[in-house]
Amino acid sequence: MNPLIAPSVLAANFANLQSEIEMLNASQADWIHFDVMDGVFVPNISFGFPILEAVNKYAQKVLDVHLMIREPERYIETFKKSGADSITVHYEACTHLHRTIQQIKDTGCKAGVALNPHTPVYLLEDIISEVDLVLIMSVNPGFGGQKFIENTYRKIENLKSLINDRQASALIQIDGGVNQSNALALLQKGADVLVAGNFVFSSPDPIQTISDLKQLSF
Which pLDDT belongs to residue 151?
A: 96
Catalytic residues: 35, 175
Residue 141 has a pLDDT of 84
Judge whether residue 53 has pLDDT over 80. yes
Name the domain count of the chain: 1
pLDDT digits (tens, 9 = 90+) for 102-112: 999 999 999 99
- Identify the pLDDT of residue 218: 73
Domain that holds residue 189: 4-214
pTM of this structure: 0.97
Q: In what order do the strands lie in the sheet with 110-115?
A: 4-7, 193-196, 171-175, 133-137, 110-115, 86-90, 62-68, 31-37
Percentage above 70 pLDDT, the chain: 99
Q: What is the CATH number of the domain that holds 105?
A: 3.20.20.70
Tell whether the model's pLDDT for residue 144 goes beyond 70. Answer: no
Q: How confident is the model over 190-209, as pLDDT tens digits? A: 999 999 999 999 999 999 99
For residue 3, pLDDT over 70 is answered with: yes
Provide the 8-state DSSP code for 118.
Answer: T
Is the pLDDT assigned to residue 173 strictly greater than 70?
yes
Q: How far is Cα 202 from Cα 28, in angstroms, rounded to an integer? A: 17
